[in-house]
């Protein structure tokens, strides 16, 4: 079944957020955020893909996010552009083939697009086209264009993706204001993207579950195509709606005025919050789900289980009845079970 058929039967989970995970592990640099790990440690990328599939992802998304010409230029590795893309696609394809999952190509915001600048649009389109050609060459099942804060750049990406004739997913990253960067209404922009031929339209990144949900409700009401929702797993609030705007006034040691991107740890959603998001988004009618920057396999498993799935990792889903103090197994010592109140300071 292809992506569209899958979505007509139920939900699809697409794990992502590889950049933050490899930054934490020490294999790529915050700031530049270029997936150099694809070239230097391909085995680790393959391993993370496998962990996300084990946790319930239906898709292996090639790790080509920010592996575009502009980003490679910033770190002085433009010569590696084709190699990093082809390698990322090969790794994703290998895992998808071995696990029976779908493989997706990926393009994203270019960093050069500026509304009204024809030369910049041409440059952005050229970046899309070269990455998409490598994805087509690799034989991906569908293509994803993501993290567009300009509606017009997302439309440009859809036009490029449509040329591949593959199913197309496009998602916007909405920051502190409930509008695209050029000021377009979010639901209206999603309608334009659907009208332009995108098969799945929605939001990824920037917003946490709490501040993404109200936008999703409007998007579901505005479009007929399946809606995508891949929030960041951070506790954003109406006052600080995107993870770039979160503040941590009690921490006196931040190197910058905001915790983004490397001091967001205290805001991380637990797995139950992600399960709750999956429940609520599904109830709204969202069918394409995932978790973006900051996601771990435990988040993906929680999402899968909330959708009624039992991925391989569910074998190890918690059973606190087996805990020697907090549990209930008949063999447990009375002294330990009675220690519960002291352990938890009840």
Q: How many residues bind Zn ion (CB under 5 A)?
A: 3
CA 26, CA 159: separation in Å to the nearest integer?
36
**Under rule CB under 5 A, residue 205 binds Zn ion:** yes
Tokens at 200, concatenated: 């799945």
**Under rule CB under 5 A, residue 55 binds Zn ion:** no
Q: Return the C-alpha torsion angle 217, 220, 222, 224, nearest 10.
A: -170
Nearer to Zn ion, 225 or 293 (CB): 293
**Under rule CB under 5 A, residue 38 binds Zn ion:** no
Among 228, 292, 303, 304, indicate the residue that binds Zn ion (CB under 5 A).
292
Q: In 10 A of CB 39, how many CB atoms?
A: 16
Nearest approach, Cβ of 291 to Zn ion (angstroms)? 9
Nearer to Zn ion, 151 or 208 (CB): 208
**Under rule CB under 5 A, residue 67 binds Zn ion:** no
Among 84, 293, 303, 313, indicate the residue that binds Zn ion (CB under 5 A).
293
Q: Return the C-alpha torsion angle 228, 232, 238, 244, nearest 10.
A: -120
Count how many residues are written for the chain: 346
Nearer to Zn ion, 144 or 293 (CB): 293
CA 72, CA 77: separation in Å to the nearest integer?
5
Residue partners of 38: CB distance under 8 A and separation at least 6: 45, 63, 67, 84, 87, 88, 91
Nearer to Zn ion, 109 or 127 (CB): 109
Nearer to Zn ion, 34 or 121 (CB): 34
Burial group, residue 225, by CB count within 10 angstroms (0-12, 13-18, 19+):
buried
Work out the angle at residue 127's Cα, subtended by the Cα atoms of residues 172 and 117, and round it to the nearest 5 degrees: 75
User: Contact region for Zn ion (CB under 5 A) — 190-198, 204-212, 233-241, 282-290?
Assistant: 204-212
User: Contact region for Zn ion (CB under 5 A) — 91-99, 289-297, 301-309, 312-320?
Assistant: 289-297
User: Contact region for Zn ion (CB under 5 A) — 36-44, 197-205, 298-306, 327-335?
Assistant: 197-205
Nearest approach, Cβ of 34 to Zn ion (angstroms)? 15
**Under rule CB under 5 A, residue 172 binds Zn ion:** no
Nearer to Zn ion, 121 or 149 (CB): 149
> What spatial distance separates the first Cα and last Cα of the chain, rounded to whole Å?
52
Q: Which residues of the shown chain bind Zn ion in the complex (CB under 5 A)?
A: 205, 292-293
């Amino acid at each position: 079944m292809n992506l569209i058929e899958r979505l007509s039967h139920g939900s699809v989970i697409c794990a992502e957020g590889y950049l933050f995970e490899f930054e934490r592990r020490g294999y790529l640099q915050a700031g530049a955020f270029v997936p150099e790990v694809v070239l230097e440690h391909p085995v680790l990328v393959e391993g993370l893909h496998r962990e996300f599939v084990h946790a319930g992802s239906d898709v292996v998304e090639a790790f080509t996010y920010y592996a575009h010409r502009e980003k490679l230029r910033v770190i002085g590795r433009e010569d590696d552009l084709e190699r990093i893309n082809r390698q990322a696609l090969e790794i994703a394809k290998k895992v998808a083939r071995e696990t029976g999952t779908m493989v997706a190509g990926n393009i994203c915001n270019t960093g050069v697009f500026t509304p009204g600048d024809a030369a910049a649009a041409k440059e952005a389109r050229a970046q899309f086209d070269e990455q998409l050609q490598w994805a087509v060459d690799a034989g991906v099942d569908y293509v994803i264009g993501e993290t567009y804060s300009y509606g017009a750049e997302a439309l440009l990406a859809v036009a490029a993706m449509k040329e591949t004739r593959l199913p197309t997913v496009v998602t916007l990253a909405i920051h502190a204001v409930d509008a695209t960067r050029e000021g377009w209404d979010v639901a209206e922009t999603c309608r334009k993207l659907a009208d332009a031929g995108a098969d799945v339209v929605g939001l990824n990144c920037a917003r946490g579950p709490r501040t993404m949900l109200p936008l999703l409700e409007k998007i579901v009401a505005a479009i007929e195509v399946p809606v995508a929702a891949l929030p960041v797993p951070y506790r954003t609030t109406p006052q600080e709606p995107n993870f770039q705007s979160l503040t941590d006034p009690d921490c006196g040691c931040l190197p910058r005025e905001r915790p983004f991107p490397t001091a967001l740890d205290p805001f991380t959603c637990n797995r139950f919050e992600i399960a709750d998001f999956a429940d609520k988004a599904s109830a709204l009618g969202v069918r394409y789900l995932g978790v973006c920057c900051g996601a771990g396999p435990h988040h993906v498993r929680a999402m899968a289980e909330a959708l009624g799935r039992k991925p391989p990792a569910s074998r190890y889903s918690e059973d606190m009845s087996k805990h020697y103090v907090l549990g209930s197994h008949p063999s447990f010592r009375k002294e330990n079970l009675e220690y519960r109140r002291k352990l938890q300071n009840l």
